[in-house]
Amino acid sequence: METLTTAVELRARISAWRREGARIGLVPTMGNLHNGHFSLITLAQKHADRVVASIFVNPTQFGPREDFANYPRTLAQDQNGLAAHDCDLAFVPSVEEMYPFGSMQSVRVEVPAVSEPLEGATRPGHFAGVATVVTKLFNLVQPDCAVFGRKDYQQLLVIQRMVRDLRLPIEIVAAPTQREANGLAMSSRNQYLSAEELEHAAAIYRTLCAMRDALNAGQDIAVIEAQARQRLETAGLLPDYAVLRRADDLLEAQPNVRSGLIALIAARLGRARLIDNLAC
């Protein structure tokens, strides 16, 4: 597997593949890769002839009190994992390569409405950082398809809306959430948890399942959400939100609606902030 660090090198390699008639797939990541990421590579290979994985810890999507400085950076391990999964190319740019005028002076891409609730309210500016860096990666790679995991569901909606609004000729492929044996969604931030906390964190998925089941049983949405928060707190987690929303735009559902919804949770446990969701 080849590793490139500059836009010039990347575009030359992509151009060579294009001349061969190859269909290009992109998997954007922040590194510290695990089996959830590698499942995205495998899915991308089903949709493309050549797959590029980007590894870039993007400063503009971290808030001032978030873990940018301490976010785990494991490049050698990531390269080995990508090579073992037959990824064609790792693009590993520097901050200067991605933000030549500095991250604070960068052009910004913002996606209104769908960016604003939930994660957008809890982490102001986060999705502008995500949309901006993904747009830059799309411009550099010009992929035919790009794969994003459903675990970051609101991020997926933001990217889908951005691609449609900007009329980008890119197929967005949504990958299913990969889970540990206890149901916990795979995440780079899981490594912040102790063995005991990992078991407590499994309450997130159990709570999502309980929310889905209660909805299907006809319970009131407000009651379901209140019970979900209580369940999480009883398990030792501090929820930012535990809600049922419309799956297509994350707006609040009407009380009598029982289809087209998604349960979403964000909760803190120890050093980690964990998110997950489940279609209902």
- CATH number corresponding to 2-175: 3.40.50.620
pTM of the model: 0.95
Contact 52, 91 (CB under 8 A): yes
Task: State the CB neighbour count (10 A cutoff) for residue 51.
Answer: 28
Q: Which residues pair with 264 in a beta bridge?
A: 243, 277
Query: Cα separation of 237 and 233, whole Å?
Result: 5
Residue whose pair of structure tokens reads 């502008």 in the numeric block: 128
What DSSP state is assigned to residue 142? -
SS3 content of the chain, % helix, strand, coil (to 5): 40, 20, 35
3-state secondary structure of 28: strand
Q: Which of 37, 85, 126, 200 is catalytic?
A: 37
- CATH number corresponding to 188-279: 3.30.1300.10
> Which tokens is 24 given?
């290009």
User: What are the C-alpha distances in Å from 100 to residues 69, 97, 103, 104, 105?
Assistant: 20, 6, 8, 10, 9
* CATH 3.30.1300.10, the chain: domain bounds: 188-279
* CATH 3.40.50.620, the chain: domain bounds: 2-175
Nearest to 37 by CA among 73, 3, 87: 87
Q: What is the pLDDT along the chain (280 residues), one digit of tens a residue?
A: 999 999 999 999 999 999 999 999 999 999 999 999 999 999 999 999 999 999 999 999 998 878 788 888 999 999 999 999 999 999 999 999 999 999 889 999 999 999 999 999 999 999 999 999 999 999 999 999 999 999 999 999 999 999 999 999 999 999 999 999 999 999 999 999 999 999 999 999 999 999 999 999 999 999 999 999 999 999 999 999 999 999 999 999 888 888 999 999 999 999 999 999 999 9
Task: Determine the distance from the C-alpha atom of residue 175 to the mean position of all C-alpha atoms in its chain, rounded to a whole number.
Answer: 10
Amino acid making up residue 52: V
- Bridge pairing between strands 145-149 and 24-29: parallel
What DSSP state is assigned to residue 36? H
Task: Judge whether 34 counts as a catalytic residue.
Answer: no
